[in-house]
Amino acid sequence: MPKIVDPEARREEVVEAVFRVVRRHGLEQASLRNVAEEAGLAIGSVRHYFAGHTELMVFAMQAMAERVERRLLEHVERLAAAADRLPVAESMLAELLPLDERRRDEATIWLAFATAARTRPELRPHAEESFDGMRRLVRRVLDGARALGRLREDADLEVETDRLCALIDGLTVQAVLHPDRVDADTMTRALRAHLVSLTR
């Protein structure tokens, strides 16, 4: 009998192969041929699930964004029920930082996609959506703190949203480019100090 292949599982295998190639060699090396080889598949098998390179790259970028979003949503539920929201907010925002191997790999891969989106129109909407999503998340944390009377009275929500997003982005870029100099402890302390500086 012919082997039955789960299409969703096979797409996931191919996407994981994309991630491995991008992490090791950069997005420019994630050709269909290289991805197929990494996945242990014939290039025709990859084309069976993705019409071409563009569709595969867009699918992979969306998959990475959805992976992080799922983890963030778990923290959002905890945040709503927490008596002390600061540690939960810190844990949630820390999901966006490369604090361990998994998140470091994700940050490396995402930065490759986000950088490519500057010159690749098919990727740009997904990079913009992620940027906007992060701003909404940060603003939600700050709005919640203000509603509970925990945010400094003089805090400008627009400015503080920009500052916190810039801190997270800056730490992420530095940690990806200089992992031996910007470690998990450095990032955690910087994030915590910033959040504490915003509280009353």
In this structure, what CATH number is given to the domain that contains residue 1? 1.10.10.60
- Judge whether 175 and 100 are in contact, CB under 8 Å: no
Say whether both 78 and 121 belong to one domain.
Answer: yes
Cα gap 176→165, rounded to integer Å: 17
User: Taking the alpha carbons of 110, 15, 49, 70 in that order, is the dihedral positive or negative?
Assistant: negative
Say whether both 110 and 194 belong to one domain.
Answer: yes
Q: How far is CA 4 from CA 9, 37, 185, in A?
A: 11, 21, 47
Query: What pLDDT score was predicted for residue 148?
Result: 86
pLDDT for 144 beyond 90: no
Query: What pLDDT score was predicted for residue 84?
Result: 80
Say whether both 85 and 43 belong to one domain.
Answer: no
Boundary (domain end) residue, out of 31, 50, 69 = 50
Say whether both 38 and 117 belong to one domain.
Answer: no
Which range of residues forms the domain containing residue 9?
A: 1-50
pTM for the complete prediction? Answer: 0.89
- Judge whether 103 and 95 are in contact, CB under 8 Å: yes
CB count within 10 Å of CB 153 equals 7
Length of the chain: 200
Percent with pLDDT over 70 in the chain:
98
Say whether both 127 and 173 belong to one domain.
Answer: yes
Say whether both 39 and 95 belong to one domain.
Answer: no
pLDDT for 4 beyond 70: no
Say whether both 112 and 35 belong to one domain.
Answer: no
Say whether both 138 and 70 belong to one domain.
Answer: yes
Q: How far is CA 183 from CA 74, 132, 134, 172, 190, in A?
A: 25, 27, 22, 10, 11
Beta bridge partners of 199: 151
Beta bridge partners of 151: 199
CATH, residue 133: 1.10.357.10
E strand or H helix at 62: helix 53-81
Q: Percentage helix, strand, coil, to 5, in the chain?
A: 75, 0, 25
Say whether both 41 and 140 belong to one domain.
Answer: no
Say whether both 89 and 138 belong to one domain.
Answer: yes
Total domain count, the chain: 2
What is the per-residue pLDDT across 44-74, written as a single tens digit (0 to 9) for each? 999 999 999 999 999 999 999 999 999 988 8
Say whether both 30 and 115 belong to one domain.
Answer: no
Query: What pLDDT score was predicted for residue 1?
Result: 46
Say whether both 71 and 41 belong to one domain.
Answer: no
